[in-house]
Structures are given as structure tokens and as C-alpha cells.
Amino acid sequence: MALAANDPHYTPPASALQMATDLQRLPLRWAKEGDIILLRDGKIEIKDERLKIRNERLEMKDRQAQPSLISHLQSLISHLSSLISPLPWGWSPLVVRQFREAGVPNECLPTDEEMKAYRDYASRQTAVKLLVRLRDTWPEPFQSGELIGESRWCESEAEVMKAVNEYGDMAMLKAPWSGSGRGVHPVKGRLTDKDTSWIRRILQRQGGVEVEPFYQRIIDFAMEFWAEGGQVRYEGLSLFTTTDGGVYSGNIVASEEEKMRRLSPFVSPKFLSEVREHLLQLLSTSGIPTWYSGPLGIDMMVAKATNVKCKMVNGQWSMVNGQWSMVNGQCSLHPLIEINLRMTMGWVALNL
């Protein structure tokens, strides 16, 4: 939401602020020894029990409250600026301002131009473009039906209506910047006044709308990567659940072996490895901002073929007879639904 607003003085909704407060110590799960965690109440936590300043008060609004500590921290930060690497949940102009007010030097923070490049890459338009490139460079599994996936990037109401008509009975409309399944608007058949109002609002505020066909998902998952210097390395799988409306509801914490076991009825480990290697090649030339160092996640899904007889059980499709099989054309893998250039709960699950 802060990235969509693109405003350093943006005020998140109360629910988001409460969540930030509730989970503010979560970074201690993956922080390294000596890392400093900035808390919302003005305190700091340092992951090192031996340090004397652990939990000391750091007033960001009233800098006269603890002048000796603040002076000490700012002096320390100034001398060690070359070693400082801020790692927020996700970057936005608001986060840059908050780091700056906490005393982090400008040379440790992204410039306005770098933030623009980050915001552009974090848009859903990037996933639309990269999906086209994946289809062009690796067409065989799309032709065989093992892989599926298409979408349209629209910048006018007329373009949205045309794309919706092309996709038939049901389509999914997505705002360029949103998270956890929010900013997603399903439409059925003819657009209603409510649909048109949503489209106009998103076009006015964010400049575009992604339109994709509706896929009947069997299982949601993601591949988690680490980006640094414009390159990426693979970190692991993320299995998560969503509501019928596509809103994130939770992650499964398990070993890589267990996660692969849960996926293996739908997609073979060998084919998933091939997908991973093609995505690594694709991402390495996709224009990831070179200054960015942090997690990158790609959301995927296994979806059922339209002609397969099945029933809904506990929010997921189950075959009436037999088992799912890509080889027999009963299900397909969508390899690139969305790119998250930020922390995700999938990344957290990998670090628990």
C-alpha cells in the first residue's frame, strides 16, 4: 500500500499499523548477530545479549529525550556507514523517510531514482512482461499444457474491457501494487457498475490494471530467491493457503523434503527443477535493481484443466476418480503469477 501511494508521508490504515506493532520483533528470527532492529515504539533491539545498549530507548520523534544515546548511535552509524545494509520488510518512500529519521545516513539508503526503479520492478506489470518472455524462450511446456499462464497489461478502461471479453466467463483484475491477495478484483461476464468503478479508481491512482483468466487452483506455492547486485540465487519453496478470493491466509512451515512431497502428486521434482532453472535465467536478465539486496518471491499455482471432472473439498479441487497428472493433461503449473520484491511470509517460513 505504501509503495502504491508513493508518498514519504503516507499513513497506513490502522489495521496495518497494528500488524506492524504485533510483528515488530519477528525480524529477530532471521537477524544475524549484531543486527539492530528498529521497533515502532522508538526502542531498538540488538541481536547480541552481551551488548549493553540492548532495549535502550531511542526517541525518533523527540530527539532531545535521550541525547547521549542518540549521539552515540549516530556517531557509530556514521563511522560504520559502509557496513550498514538496511533490510526492511519492503522498500517505499515512507520506509526511506523512517530510516532517515532514525539516523541512517543517506549513502546507505536508495536515492529517488533507485526507488523509482524498485517501484517499477515491483509492479505487476513486470510479471506480465516476464511471463511473455518465459513463453517465448521456453515454449514447449506451454504447448504441451504442462505450463499455463497469460495476462494483459491495460492502461485504459477500453483495454480492460477488451481483455475481459477475451477471457470469457470470468477474469481476475489486479492493481499494479498491492499485497497478500488484496488489490485483486474478480469479474464475471459483463462488467457491473461496481466493476467499472473499481477499474476507474485503480487506473486513476496507479495507472494500470492487470487482467488474467480465472484459474481453478489446486494448490498455491512459491519459489523464494535472494537478489543481490541484480543477480539471484534460489533459497527454497513456500507452500501457502489462500481464501476463495485469493487473499493470503497462511504458510506451511516444513522441511524442503516435506514441501516437495506435498507438491509431488501434481508436479514432479524433475520438472519443478527445470522450471526453477529457467526462472533463474529469466530473473538474471530481468532488470532487478542492482542496489537491491533482499528476498524475491515468485508466486505459482497448480490449476486443474477445464475438462477434468472434480469436486471442491476444503477449498481445493479434488478429482472424482484417479489422481492428478500433468502428463495426462489433468492439471497444469502456472509458473509466474506474481513477483514479490520484498519479504514475504514464505521467506519467514523458510527461516523458522
pLDDT bracket for residue 44 (50, 70, 90): confident
Among the residue ranges 154-168, 180-194, 260-274, 305-319, the one predicted with the least confidence is 305-319
Query: Which positions ≥6 away from 94 have C-beta within 8 Å?
Result: 2, 5, 7, 8, 9, 10, 12
Within 13 A of 64's CA, how many CA atoms are on the CB side? Answer: 0
Which single residue is written with the C-alpha cell 540492548?
Answer: 54
| Average pLDDT taken over every residue of the chain | 85
pLDDT at 75: 59
Whether the pLDDT of residue 288 is over 50: the answer is yes
For the domain 150-213, what is the CATH superfamily, name and number? Answer: ATP-grasp fold, A domain (3.30.1490.20)
Domain segments of the chain as ranges: 2-109, 150-213, 217-350
Q: Which helix (H) or strand (E) holds 212?
A: strand 209-213
Tell me what the mean pLDDT of segment 97-121 comes to. 93
User: What are 2's three cell numbers?
Assistant: 505504501
Among the residue ranges 59-63, 170-174, 205-209, 339-343, the one predicted with the least confidence is 59-63
Whether the pLDDT of residue 257 is over 50: the answer is yes
Q: Helices in 145-289 by DSSP H: which ranges? A: 157-166, 193-206, 256-263, 269-284
127, 339 contact by CB (below 8 A): yes
- Exposed, middle or buried by CB within 10 Å (0-12, 13-18, 19+), for 340? buried
pLDDT at 239: 95
What DSSP character marks residue 135?
H
Q: Which of 60-64, 68-72, 231-235 has the highest mean pLDDT?
A: 231-235
Q: Which of 125-134, 175-184, 212-221, 299-308 has the highest mean pLDDT?
A: 125-134
pLDDT bracket for residue 73 (50, 70, 90): low
Per-residue pLDDT reduced to its tens digit, 111-157: 999 999 999 999 999 999 999 999 999 999 999 999 999 999 999 99
Whether the pLDDT of residue 312 is over 60: the answer is no
pTM: 0.85
- Rounded to whole angstroms, the Cα distance separating 195 from 199 reads 6
pLDDT at 60: 43
Tell me what the mean pLDDT of segment 58-77 comes to. 49
pLDDT at 31: 87
55, 25 contact by CB (below 8 A): no
- Comparing C-alpha atoms, which of 231, 250, 253 is closest to residue 241? 250
Q: Assign domain 217-350 one CATH number from 1.10.3470, 3.30.470, 3.30.70, 2.60.40.
A: 3.30.470
- Rounded to whole angstroms, the Cα distance separating 332 from 343 reads 27
Among the residue ranges 49-63, 243-257, 304-318, the one predicted with the least confidence is 49-63
pLDDT, greater one: 233 or 217: 233
